[in-house]
């Protein structure tokens, strides 16, 4: 199992302050070979700042970063030579076509033109962009641009990929294609660090998750294990006229006793329970209500750990 | 795990430069090659319009300008006087435009620098590449204008071969200065201050259009501090097939401006990127 091997990348007790504001506060994690580590958290949780520190773009105010047997920031250039990065915002060169984007980017790694040119057809094929080799980024769809960014991040054949919200803003087809490509990379033995707002993405791709909030690590583990640890297995969502009464009125206390936990969000009531059948039977008597019975998922976990309030920049 | 404690980088630390600037320079060259013809026309048309309008138009009124040289006072045709000054102004303008508007587009608007720095390239090397690139573009513009001047028969001084690298240094100096303002800019509007408050006074007080000796004493003193003044003092005699007086001093001023402002530009750019 990856857990037993030496980590490829290790960050310990990272701290970053901007003035009085501590945006990353003692975050530690490790990435093992072949592993996909997901970093999730609300806006402003410190995800992007953590990645920027890992890339040596922002100097931490405390902590250590160690990768591929080398230290940041002393060996930053040697570490980056083995990293592939897809940033939140595309930084593709608008004046170059897809193939030229790859060529020019490969040169930043000190690769010889002949080496890069030999890799370009495979990279374009991987990104499903072979037919767009001579198109400029302005002529590409959002999904194509992101895949070109991914192909560009692979030009140096990196051991570890750092992907900051790689599918934000993509339609479902483009997201699924991106996920499929990332799965292929994991099967090839690459390691991935991924930040995301999509819990289905985290659950699908990540072998392990790190939950950040207010700059702190508040949970870490395998997605299913985290759900089992923090949540009851079943969720019953209740909507409709009088739904809120179930959560609030004294007379409905016996019904609430059938659930381990009851939460209200807007007009919806969430019942968390290990035994859904008695609860569903009791709810069945309220004909005006609509119910949705489903297993607890990462989104429930995320909301439980980080709360339901909208964040300032959310 | 070793315990190297990370310390925040001092923005004023000396530049850490490596050969990695080259692929960044090459990137700019490749883009420019695609857009070369319109960009050449734009860069060269304006200085030549200045030259024709002022040189032939005003030159007909002025006739000649008396200039002190080591060999005594010489009457210089106005067009030659102007050409030798305006070539320095062209070097300044070409470098300034590239290191302000174009570099800012790459740094701030297109986020090209961010992309580059995700690869093993330091910010220091990116800034160096932009500086050398603006210097190169300036030298290219100057070279074409020199060829046109030769074609018009304005000068045939063999010392133009010496003026050419001097003009390269002038481009470098002004690209370093412009990068300071690039580092401070929040948007393109900021650059109009730089043009109004720095470049325009420099154009009129450095002896490009008329001999500086006509300026009042306090203004002349100010003029002595301007890098373009020293560029003109170096280049004008070379156009007249003479050696400049105090060449070492003028060169030193340009080099000090270049190194000092490059360091300042780098420190300010490091601060900008250390968010």
HSE-CB at B86 with a 13 A cutoff on CA atoms is 23
What's the pLDDT score for residue B51? 82
Q: In percent, how much of chain A has pLDDT > 70?
A: 96
In a domain, A174, yes or no: yes
Question: What's the CA gap between A12 and A27, in Å, rounded?
Answer: 7
Question: What's the CA gap between A274 and A56, in Å, rounded?
Answer: 46
How do residues A80-90 score in pLDDT, each as one tens digit? 999 999 998 89
Name the residue facing B1 among A55, A66, A104 (closest C-beta): A66
Residues A206 and A241 in one domain: no
Nearest to A11 by CA among A37, A42, A40, A34: A37
CATH number, domain containing residue A218 = 3.40.50.300
Residues A48 and A101 in one domain: yes
Query: Does A199 contact B at CB distance below 8 Å?
Result: no
Residues A195 and A284 in one domain: no
> If pLDDT is split at 50, 70 and 90, which confidence band does A311 have?
low
> If pLDDT is split at 50, 70 and 90, which confidence band does B6 have?
very low
Does the pLDDT of residue B8 top 70, yes or no?
no
- Output the six-digit token pair for B130: 């932009």
Does the pLDDT of residue B97 top 80, yes or no?
yes
Nearest to A235 by CA among A193, A311, A294, A149: A294
- Residue A4 is classified by DSSP as G
CB B113 within 8 A of CB B107: yes
Number of CB pairs < 8 Å for A and B?
Answer: 94
Of the two residues B40 and B205, the one the predictor is more confident about is B205
What's the pLDDT score for residue A15? 94
Mean pLDDT of A210-238: 89
Nearest to A98 by CA among A78, A72, A128: A128
Residues A212 and A179 in one domain: yes
- Chain B closest-CA separation from residue A189 CA (Å): 21
Question: What's the CA gap between B16 and A292, in Å, rounded?
Answer: 61
Query: Does A72 contact B at CB distance below 8 Å?
Result: yes
CB B256 within 8 A of CB B85: no
Query: Does A143 contact B at CB distance below 8 Å?
Result: no
What's the pLDDT score for residue B132? 98
Q: Note if the bond before A126 is cis, omega within 30 degrees.
A: no
Residues A278 and A213 in one domain: no
The full 3-state SS of B229-271, as one line of letters, equals HHHHHHHHHHHCCCCCCCHHHHHHHHHHHHHHHHHHHHHHHHH
Q: Please state the length of chain A.
A: 314
Phi-psi label, residue A9: left if phi above 0, alpha if psi -120 to 50, beta otherwise? beta
What's the pLDDT score for residue A150? 95
What's the pLDDT score for residue A42? 86
What's the pLDDT score for residue A313? 54
Mean pLDDT of B217-221: 93
In a domain, A312, yes or no: no
CB < 8 Å to B114, chain A: 87, 89, 91
CB B236 within 8 A of CB A20: no
Q: A8 phi and psi, to 5 degrees?
A: -70, -40
Name the residue facing A93 among B9, B112, B273 (closest C-beta): B112
- Cβ-defined contact of A80 to B119 (cutoff 8 Å): yes
Q: In whole angstroms, how far apart are CA A162 and each of A182, A304, B64, B123, B137?
A: 12, 27, 67, 20, 36
Name the residue facing A87 among B35, B118, B120 (closest C-beta): B118
> How many separate helices (H) and strands (E) can be counted in chain A?
12, 14
In a domain, A307, yes or no: no
Query: Does A115 contact B at CB distance below 8 Å?
Result: no
Mean pLDDT of A265-283: 87
HSE-CB at A173 with a 13 A cutoff on CA atoms is 4
Nearest to B191 by CA among B76, B68, B69, B108: B108
The β-bridge partners of A36 are: A192
In a domain, A284, yes or no: yes
What's the pLDDT score for residue B61? 86
Domains: count for chain A:
2
Mean pLDDT of A213-224: 90
Q: Which of B105, B118, B121 should we substitute to test contact with A (largest number of A Cβ atoms within 10 Å)?
A: B118
Please state the ipTM of this predicted complex. Answer: 0.89
- Cβ-defined contact of A108 to B110 (cutoff 8 Å): no
Of the two residues A246 and B17, the one the predictor is more confident about is B17
- Output the six-digit token pair for B239: 């156009």
- Output the six-digit token pair for B95: 């470098």
Can you state the angle between helices B160-184 and B78-97, rounded to 10 degrees?
40
Residue A48 has a CB neighbour count (10 Å cut-off) of: 18
What's the pLDDT score for residue A254? 82
Question: What's the CA gap between A147 and A138, in Å, rounded?
Answer: 14
- Chain B closest-CA separation from residue A101 CA (Å): 10
In a domain, A310, yes or no: no
In a domain, A303, yes or no: no
Domain that holds residue A244: 232-295
Name the residue facing A91 among B3, B115, B120 (closest C-beta): B115
Residues A214 and A276 in one domain: no
Residues A202 and A252 in one domain: no
Question: What's the CA gap between A176 and A185, in Å, rounded?
Answer: 14
Query: Does A92 contact B at CB distance below 8 Å?
Result: yes
- Cβ-defined contact of A59 to B8 (cutoff 8 Å): yes
What's the pLDDT score for residue A310? 65
Mean pLDDT of B67-71: 73
**Strand bridging mode A268-273 / A261-265:** antiparallel
Domain boundary among A227, A247, A272: A227
Residues A81 and A44 in one domain: yes
Residues A153 and A263 in one domain: no
- Cβ-defined contact of A78 to B120 (cutoff 8 Å): yes
Sheet holding A208-213, edge to edge: A83-86, A160-164, A191-196, A36-40, A208-213, A216-221
Question: What's the CA gap between A269 and B169, in Å, rounded?
Answer: 72
Does the pLDDT of residue A298 top 90, yes or no?
no
What's the pLDDT score for residue A72? 87
Residues A153 and A238 in one domain: no
What's the pLDDT score for residue A73? 84
How do residues A19-52 score in pLDDT, each as one tens digit? 888 999 999 999 999 999 999 988 888 998 999 9
Question: What's the CA gap between A75 and B91, in Å, rounded?
Answer: 39
In a domain, A314, yes or no: no
CATH number, domain containing residue A242 = 3.30.70
Question: What's the CA gap between B274 and B266, in Å, rounded?
Answer: 12
Residues A88 and A131 in one domain: yes
In a domain, A109, yes or no: yes
> If pLDDT is split at 50, 70 and 90, which confidence band does A70 have?
very high
Q: Please state the length of chain B.
A: 275
User: Which range is least confidently modeled, B2-11, B68-77, B160-169, B216-225?
Assistant: B2-11
Does the pLDDT of residue B180 top 60, yes or no?
yes
Question: What's the CA gap between A173 and B26, in Å, rounded?
Answer: 37
> If pLDDT is split at 50, 70 and 90, which confidence band does A155 have?
very high
How do residues A177-213 score in pLDDT, each as one tens digit? 999 999 999 999 999 999 998 888 998 899 999 999 9
A150 burial level (CB within 10 Å; 0-12, 13-18, 19+) = buried
What's the pLDDT score for residue B5? 44
**pTM (predicted TM-score):** 0.90
Residues 26-55 of A with CB under 8 A from B: 55
Residues A214 and A236 in one domain: no
What's the pLDDT score for residue B158? 94
């Amino acid at each position: 199992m990856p857990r037993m091997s030496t980590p490829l990348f290790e960050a310990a007790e990272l701290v970053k302050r901007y003035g009085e504001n501590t945006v990353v506060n003692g975050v530690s994690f490790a990435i093992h070979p072949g592993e996909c580590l997901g970093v999730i958290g609300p806006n402003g949780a410190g995800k992007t700042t953590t990645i920027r520190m890992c890339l040596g773009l922002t100097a931490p105010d405390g902590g250590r970063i160690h990768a591929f047997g080398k230290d940041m920031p002393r060996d930053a250039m040697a570490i980056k030579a083995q990293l592939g990065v897809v940033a939140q915002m595309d930084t593709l060169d608008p004046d170059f076509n897809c193939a030229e984007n790859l060529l020019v980017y490969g040169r930043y790694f000190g690769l010889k033109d002949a080496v890069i040119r030999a890799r370009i057809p495979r990279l374009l094929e991987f990104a499903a962009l072979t037919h767009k080799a001579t198109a400029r980024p302005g002529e590409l769809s959002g999904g194509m641009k992101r895949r070109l960014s991914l192909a560009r991040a692979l030009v140096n054949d990196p051991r570890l990929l750092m992907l900051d919200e790689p599918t934000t803003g993509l339609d479902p087809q483009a997201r699924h294609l991106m996920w499929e490509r990332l799965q292929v990379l994991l099967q090839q033995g690459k390691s991935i660090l991924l930040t995301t707002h999509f819990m289905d993405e985290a659950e699908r791709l990540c072998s392990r998750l790190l939950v950040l909030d207010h700059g702190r690590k508040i949970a870490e583990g395998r997605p299913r294990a985290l759900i089992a640890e923090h949540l009851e297995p079943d969720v019953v969502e209740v909507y409709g006229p009088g739904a809120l009464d179930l959560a609030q009125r004294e007379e409905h206390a016996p019904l609430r006793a059938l659930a381990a936990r009851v939460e209200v969000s807007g007009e919806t009531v969430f019942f968390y329970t290990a035994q859904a059948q008695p609860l569903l039977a009791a709810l069945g008597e309220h004909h005006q209500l609509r119910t949705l019975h489903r297993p607890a998922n990462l989104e429930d976990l995320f909301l439980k750990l980080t709360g339901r309030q909208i964040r300032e920049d959310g | 795990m070793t315990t190297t404690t990370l310390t925040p980088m001092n923005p004023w630390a000396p530049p850490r430069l490596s050969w990695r600037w080259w692929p960044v320079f090459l990137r700019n060259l490749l883009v420019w090659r695609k857009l070369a013809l319109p960009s050449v026309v734009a860069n060269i048309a304006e200085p030549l319009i200045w030259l024709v309008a002022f040189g032939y138009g005003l030159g007909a009124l002025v006739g000649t300008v008396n200039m002190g040289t080591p060999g005594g006072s010489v009457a210089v045709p106005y067009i030659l006087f102007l050409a030798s000054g305006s070539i320095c102004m062209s070097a300044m303008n070409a470098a300034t435009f590239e290191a302000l508007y174009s570099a800012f587009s790459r740094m701030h608007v297109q986020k090209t620098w961010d992309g580059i720095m995700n690869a093993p390239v330091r910010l220091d090397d990116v800034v160096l590449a932009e500086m050398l690139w603006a210097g190169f573009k300036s030298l290219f513009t100057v070279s074409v204008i020199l060829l046109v001047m030769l074609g018009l028969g304005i000068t045939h001084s063999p010392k133009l071969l010496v003026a050419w690298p001097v003009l390269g240094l002038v481009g470098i100096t002004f690209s370093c200065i412009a990068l300071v303002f690039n580092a401070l800019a929040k948007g393109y509007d900021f650059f109009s201050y730089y043009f109004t408050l720095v470049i325009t006074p420099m154009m009129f007080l450095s002896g490009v259009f008329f001999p500086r000796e006509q300026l009042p004493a306090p203004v002349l003193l100010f003029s002595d501090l301007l890098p373009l003044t020293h560029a003109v003092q170096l280049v004008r005699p070379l156009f007249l097939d003479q050696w400049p007086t105090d060449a070492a001093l003028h060169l030193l001023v340009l080099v000090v401006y270049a190194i000092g402002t490059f360091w300042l530009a780098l420190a300010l750019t490091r601060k900008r990127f250390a968010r």
